[in-house]
Amino acid sequence: MEREQKDTIEVLRSSLLGDIPHGFLGRRGGVSQGIHAGLNVGLGSDDDREAVVENRRRAADAILPAAEMVTVHQIHSPVVVSVSEAVSLDARPQADAMVTDRPGLLLGILTADCVPVLFADNEAGIIGAAHAGWKGAISGVTDNTLTAMEALGADRGRIACAIGPCIAQKSYEVDDGFYRRFVEEADENERFFGSGKPGHWQFDIEGYVAARLAAAGVTKVECLGEDTYSQPDRFFSYRRSCHMGEPGYGREISLIGLRS
């Protein structure tokens, strides 16, 4: 992992993705105030829309200036869209992952505890980005992203993946019903759950997503190991905001693009 401070915006990068423009951005920088203070890019938040739009512009400039940022209306699904041109903010498709082979586009995934995954076949010039909350992860959003990249000409054996800041196992308490859902899907999923208080477990969603990628044939996977919940000065966290009784929360963005 490489860390860079760019105009007060913190950018985390993966060495596995090489020189492809990309970065996992946190909350540092930006113009939002109050509980959304910093680089909140969530259009679905209660933040001032003008501030969110400005934050999105700053985020894009930190990764690939002059590129067109593309995001989707995330719905915790396994749905992937192939992007060939810019999409207006009000016309974002409902999906949780994107792939493209078009230079000048910057794919953006929003998170606030869920798992952001960036994909790249550097040789083919094909990239992807996925939002893997637990629902999307268990239903195959990362598997579908790989398939969509292959449809554009990527080779699964060359694809590298980086998993960005997300809620860590120590911070992610789930109940027994949640645990059973994953273990019933596959017995080996039990390894991603640590014991917690009675009737509860600690879920390693980062490890689960990494294992899904490995099982799908990806041999190059890097986990950044950054816990969104326990670092309020660096990251937004939905679960932390709920525990603190806050009326809303911001979203961070993970970006990957191709130079023109």
Domain spans of the chain, in order of start: 2-167+221-257
In CATH, what class is 2-167+221-257?
alpha beta
Take residue 222 and report the two structure tokens written for it.
């890097």
Q: Do 115 and 207 form a contact (C-beta atoms < 8 A)?
A: no
| Residuewise pLDDT in 10s, the chain (260 residues) | 666 555 689 999 999 999 999 999 999 999 999 999 999 999 999 999 999 999 999 999 999 998 999 999 999 999 999 999 998 888 999 999 999 999 999 999 999 999 999 999 999 999 999 999 999 999 999 999 999 999 999 999 999 999 999 999 999 999 999 999 999 999 999 999 999 999 999 999 999 999 999 999 999 999 999 999 999 999 999 999 999 999 999 999 999 999 98
DSSP string, 47-97: S-HHHHHHHHHHHHHHHSTTPEEE--B--SSS-EEE--S---GGG--B-SE
Q: Strand pairing partners for 255?
A: 23, 108
DSSP line for 120-184: EETTTTEEEEEEE-HHHHHHTHHHHHHHHHHHTT--TTT-EEEE-SB--GGG-EEEHHHHHHHHH
Strand bridging mode 220-223 / 160-163: parallel
Report yes or no: 62 and 8 within 8 Å, Cβ to Cβ.
no
CA distance 15 to 29: 23
